[in-house]
Amino acid sequence: MALNESLFARKFGIAASDLESYLGEALASGGDYADLYFEYLASSSISIDESITKSAVQGVSLGVGVRVIHGERTGYAYSDDLNRDKILRACRVASAIAKGPSTILKTGLSQGQKRNLYPVGEAAGEASLRDRIQLVERADKAARACDARVFQVQATFVDNVRHVLIATSDGTLTDDRQPLARIGIRVLAREHGGAPHSGFAGGGGRIGIEAFRDERSPEAYAREAARQAIVELGAIDAPAGEMTVVLGPGWPGILLHEAVGHGLEADFNRKGVSAFSGRIGQKVASELCTVVDDGTIRNRRGSLNVDDEGVPTQQNVLIEKGVLRGYLADKLSGRLLGSPSTGSGRRENYQNIPMPRMTNTFMLAGESDPEEIIRSVPKGLYCTTFGGGQVDITSGNFVFAASESYLIENGKLTRPVRGATLIGNGPEALKYVSMVGNDLKLDEGIGICGKEGQSVPVGVGIPTLKIDRMTVGGTGA
Amino acid sequence: MMDAQLAADIARLALDRGATDAECTLSEGDEFTARVRMRSLETLKEAGSQAAGLRVLIGRRAGSAYTSDLTRDGIRQMVESAVEIARVTSEDPFAGLPDEAELGAIPGDLALYSDEVAAIDTQEKIDRALAAEEAALGADARIVNSEGASFDSWTGGHAFANSRGFAGAYRRSSCSLSVTPVAKQNGSMERDYWLSRARAPRALESSADVGRKAAERALRRLGARKVQTAKVPVVFEPRTARSLLGHVFDAVSGDTVYRTASFLARRLGEKVASDQVTIVDDGTLPGLFGSSPFDDEGVPSRRTVVIERGVLKSWLLNTYTARKLGMKTTGNAARGIAGNAGVGHGNFFLEPGAKSEQEIVRGIARGLYVTELIGFGVNVVTGDYSRGAAGLWIENGEFAYPVSEITVAANLLDMLKGITLVANELEFRGSTASPALVIGEMTVSGQ
Domain span at residue A83? Answer: 2-233
Closest alpha carbon to B148 in B132, B159, B162: B132
Question: Where does a domain end: B193, B219, B245?
Answer: B219
Domain harbouring B51, CATH code: 3.30.2290.10
pLDDT tens string B402-413: 999 999 999 999
Average pLDDT over residues B200-204: 94
Q: Residue B49 and residue A78: Cβ atoms within 8 Å?
A: yes
Closest alpha carbon to B390 in A392, A135, A97: A392
pLDDT of residue A1: 46
Distance CA A252, CA B415 (A): 29
Query: What amino acid is encoded at B136 in this protein?
Result: A
pLDDT of residue B132: 98
Question: Where does a domain end: A197, A216, A233?
Answer: A233
Closest alpha carbon to B112 in B364, B317, B283, B292: B292
pLDDT band, residue B101 (cuts 50/70/90)? very high
Closest Cα in chain A, distance from residue B188 (Å): 8
Closest alpha carbon to A158 in A47, A18, A49: A47
Distance CA B176, CA B33 (A): 10
Query: What amino acid is encoded at B287 in this protein?
Result: G
* Interface membership of B445 toward A (CB under 8 Å): yes
Element (H, E) at B75: helix B72-86
The residue in chain A having the minimum alpha-carbon distance to the alpha carbon of residue B78 is A59
Closest alpha carbon to A423 in B406, B225, B176: B406
Quote ipTM for the complex: 0.94
- Chain B neighbors of A401, CB-CB under 8 A: 375-377, 386
Question: In chain B, which among 166-185 make CB contacts under 8 A with chain A?
Answer: 182
Whether residues A341 and A316 share a domain: the answer is yes
What pairs with residue A299 in β-bridges? none
Question: Where does a domain end: A233, A264, A279?
Answer: A233
Domain harbouring A177, CATH code: 3.30.2290.10
Question: Where does a domain end: A167, A199, A233?
Answer: A233
Q: Residue B377 and residue A77: Cβ atoms within 8 Å?
A: no
Q: What angle do CA A230, A234, A239 make, to 5 degrees?
A: 120
pLDDT tens string B299-358: 999 999 999 999 999 999 999 999 999 999 999 999 999 999 999 999 999 999 999 999
Q: Residue A421 and residue B386: Cβ atoms within 8 Å?
A: yes
The residue in chain A having the minimum alpha-carbon distance to the alpha carbon of residue B52 is A59
Average pLDDT over residues B124-131: 97
Whether residues B196 and B265 share a domain: the answer is no
pLDDT in tens, chain A (477 residues): 468 788 999 989 999 999 999 999 999 999 999 999 999 999 999 999 999 999 899 999 999 999 999 999 999 999 999 999 999 999 999 998 887 666 666 667 887 778 899 988 777 667 788 899 999 999 999 999 999 999 999 999 999 999 999 999 999 999 999 999 999 999 999 998 889 999 999 999 999 988 998 878 999 999 999 999 999 999 999 999 999 999 999 999 999 999 999 999 999 999 999 999 999 999 999 999 999 999 999 999 999 999 999 999 999 999 999 999 999 999 999 999 999 999 999 999 999 999 999 999 999 999 999 999 999 999 999 999 998 899 999 999 999 999 999 999 999 999 999 988 999 999 999 999 999 999 999 999 999 999 999 999 999 999 999 999 999 999 986
pLDDT tens string B246-268: 999 999 999 999 999 999 999 99
Task: Tell me the three state secondary structure of residue A200.
Answer: strand
pLDDT tens string A422-464: 999 999 999 999 999 999 999 999 999 999 999 999 999 999 9
Q: Residue A198 and residue B261: Cβ atoms within 8 Å?
A: yes
Q: How many CB atoms lie within 10 A of CB B74?
A: 15
Whether residues B13 and B91 share a domain: the answer is yes
Average pLDDT over residues B419-427: 97
Whether residues A192 and A321 share a domain: the answer is no
Question: Where does a domain end: B219, B234, B263?
Answer: B219
Distance CA A93, CA A76 (A): 7
Residue B416's alpha-carbon distances to A258, B234, B305, in angstroms, are 31, 12, 16
pLDDT of residue A2: 66
What pairs with residue B195 in β-bridges? B178
Domain span at residue B261? Answer: 224-447
Q: Residue A240 and residue B145: Cβ atoms within 8 Å?
A: no
Given a contact cutoff of 8 angstroms between Cβ atoms, the answer to whether B223 and B411 are in contact is no
HSE value, Cβ hemisphere, 13 Å, CA-based, for A88? 8
Given a contact cutoff of 8 angstroms between Cβ atoms, the answer to whether A27 and A68 are in contact is yes
Whether residues B32 and B118 share a domain: the answer is yes
Whether residues B67 and B175 share a domain: the answer is yes
Given a contact cutoff of 8 angstroms between Cβ atoms, the answer to whether A164 and A192 are in contact is no
φ, ψ for residue A364 (rounded to 5)?
-70, 155
* Tally of domains within chain A: 2
pLDDT of residue B150: 98
CA torsion angle B66 B68 B71 B74 (round to 10): -40
Residue B46's alpha-carbon distances to B33, B198, B404, in angstroms, are 7, 19, 38
Closest alpha carbon to B390 in B402, B378, B401: B402
Residue B131 CB burial class (10 angstroms; 0-12, 13-18, ≥19): buried
* Tally of domains within chain B: 2
Distance CA B29, CA B51 (A): 9
Question: In chain B, which among 338-367 make CB contacts under 8 A with chain A?
Answer: 338-340
Q: What sign for the dihedral angle of Cα B253, B256, B262, B265?
A: positive
pLDDT of residue A108: 78
Question: Where does a domain end: B192, B219, B246?
Answer: B219
Mutate to test the interface with A, among B55, B381, B442 (most CBs of A within 10 A): B381
